[in-house]
Structure 1
Amino acid sequence: MTLRPIRLLAGAALSLALASCGTTYSMPGIADETNSRASTMFAEAKTAAPRSPISESAGVNRFARVARRIEPVARQLCETELAQGKAVDCDVKLELDREMQQRNAYFTYAEAGNRSPVIRFSVPLLQDTGNDDEVAFIMGHEYGHLIGRHIQKGQQQAIAGALILGVITAAASAQGGGYYDQTAVENSMELGAMVGQRAYSQTYELESDMLGTRISHAAGYDPVKGAQFFARDEAARSGGGQLSFWGTHPPDEKRMAMVLATMEQIQGQQALTRKASQ
């Protein structure tokens, strides 16, 4: 492999990486006072005593009740994205994952047919919730991954990362006068794909928190009350250390601060609207 094709591949990979990074929406700024409030709420929630799970039927009923209110609000926001020319399928299936024993919820695409978007909740997670606000925030958060196109962006970043590290490895061999080591390049591409996919994962979680706040609030729920569930100590949330929803989304005061900052932004916009109408 000569240096010119290597440079061309590196340029293409870098362009792909830059095109796929970042959030879809502008994130609200977080003031020092908001960070302080978030830290206090986070600390208080972490020390909350464990609570007894609700029955399976109560958890399933809570899921259905919340879904009826969240779905139309999230769909409307999703369809706004379609109106702006973004390729987003808003026909989301809200399902229970009855096989999963972990306390978790996730957004994915169905493997069969046209890969329609799916949001699934495990029954143990629903049983662990203390109110409808918590389920509403989780559901809004998962819709945020759809609306923010996080799976597609992650895939693009994985491709870009694989290309970049693969090109670097190939270039190092070429410039050193050595032979082309296909195994080394493949290993580098695997590592690059992993790094690329994770590069903006926490940024996307924050964006989903922001969108989840807006969706759950618009549906009539209290997102601050809902988000406090995720700041509770892992043992309190997952009963015996089983993987929970927040176990795959590292707890951080920054995420609580994002919810508070988004609510401050919403309330500020509402105040301006009221003032303009007077």
Structure 2
Amino acid sequence: MIPPGRTPEAQAMSFVEVARRVEPVAEVECLRMNPGANCDFRIVVDDRPTMPPNAYQTLDSSGRPVLAFTAALIAIVRNGDELAFVMSHEASHHILGHLERMDRNASEGAAAFGRIARETAGATPDQIREAELLGAQVGARSYSKEFELEADRFGTRVAAEAGFDPLHGAEFFLRLPDPGNRLMGTHPSNGERIATVQSAAAELGLGPFRR
């Protein structure tokens, strides 16, 4: 559903403008935090009509950081502040090294669960492999909520330095289904995320959260 006054053309123009302003700030912060790292962000749009609203950070085959946004997500943001906050959040995952840390946690989880399985009498190779896969999943998710909050906090800084209002942008959370506090969930509650943005904004001297 397109927000009132947000035509597809307006959405496209807003996305280009937000990317133009956020990308150089994210690259500067990335190099400041990780001298010598690949901080040449590539921002792309996944325009497949079947893809749900989503944004994520990944690496291409050369190790270049990629920030990807589905067309469905771009369609539901209401303003540049919201889009800038999401973009800054995703960039922060790379700046803070979350993919590498998640991979390391997955490897450690797989090793731990595999060791337990191998020490279990009668365990078959298939059962050991299943234990390793489960351990990798548990390890990868073990700090995912903390990573999201870290990216929210650092993303607040990036968005503000790019000239956007992260407090206004974080109102995007108010329209998302709340993931709650599920044991194996990958995202913290919306309330936690908003509180994190408020705290980060206060440290930056920004105004109160607008409801």
Q: TM-score when scaled to structure 2?
A: 0.86
Distance 1:250 1:267 in 2: 25
Residue 196 (1) aligns with residue 143 (2): no
Preserved CA contact (<8 Å) 1:108 1:118:
yes
Preserved CA contact (<8 Å) 2:160 2:166:
yes
Q: Which has the higher contact order (CA 8 A, sep 6+)?
A: 1
Preserved CA contact (<8 Å) 2:114 2:131:
yes
**C-alpha displacement at 1:90, in angstroms?**
0.1
**C-alpha displacement at 1:96, in angstroms?**
1.2
Aligned counterpart in structure 1 of residue 57 of structure 2, from 107, 115, 118: 107
> Which digits, 9 at most, give the CA deviation of each residue in 1:51-87, with x for residues without a partner?
447222211111110111111111110011233xxx6
Show structure 2 runs of 5+ residues with no match. 179-185, 207-211
Preserved CA contact (<8 Å) 1:98 1:122:
yes
SS at match of 2:53: coil
Structure 1 residues 125 and 192: alpha-carbon distance in aligned structure 2, compared to 1, 3 A threshold: same
SS at match of 1:267: coil
- Deviation above 3 Å: which 4+ runs of structure 1? 50-53, 248-251
| 2:161 match | 218
**C-alpha displacement at 1:161, in angstroms?**
0.3
Distance 2:3 2:16 in 1: 22
Residue 90 (1) aligns with residue 32 (2): no
**C-alpha displacement at 1:253, in angstroms?**
0.5
Distance 1:195 1:182 in 2: 20
| 1:7 match | none
**What percentage of aligned pairs have identical amino acids?**
35
SS at match of 2:119: helix
| 1:3 match | none
Q: TM-score when scaled to structure 1?
A: 0.66
SS at match of 1:94: strand
Distance 2:172 2:190 in 1: 12
> Which digits, 9 at most, give the CA deviation of each residue in 1:106-139, with x for residues without a partner?
11112x4x13111011222212111110011000
Distance 1:135 1:77 in 2: 19
**C-alpha displacement at 1:181, in angstroms?**
2.1
SS at match of 2:68: strand
Distance 1:88 1:166 in 2: 33
SS at match of 1:196: helix
Aligned counterpart in structure 2 of residue 155 of structure 1, from 77, 86, 103: 103
Preserved CA contact (<8 Å) 1:230 1:251:
no
Which one has the largest radius of gyration?
Answer: 1
| 1:62 match | 14
Aligned counterpart in structure 2 of residue 262 of structure 1, from 185, 192, 200: 200
Distance 1:250 1:204 in 2: 10
SS at match of 1:108: strand
Letter in 1 for 2:94: L
| 2:183 match | none
| 1:182 match | 125
**C-alpha displacement at 1:249, in angstroms?**
4.2
| 2:182 match | none
Show structure 1 runs of 5+ residues with no match. 1-49, 174-178, 236-247, 269-278
| 1:116 match | 64
Aligned counterpart in structure 2 of residue 74 of structure 1, from 10, 13, 26: 26
**C-alpha displacement at 1:261, in angstroms?**
0.3
1:4-19 alignment runs, 5 A limit: none
Distance 2:96 2:140 in 1: 15
> Which digits, 9 at most, give the CA deviation of each residue in 1:35-66, with x for residues without a partner?
xxxxxxxxxxxxxxx94472222111111101
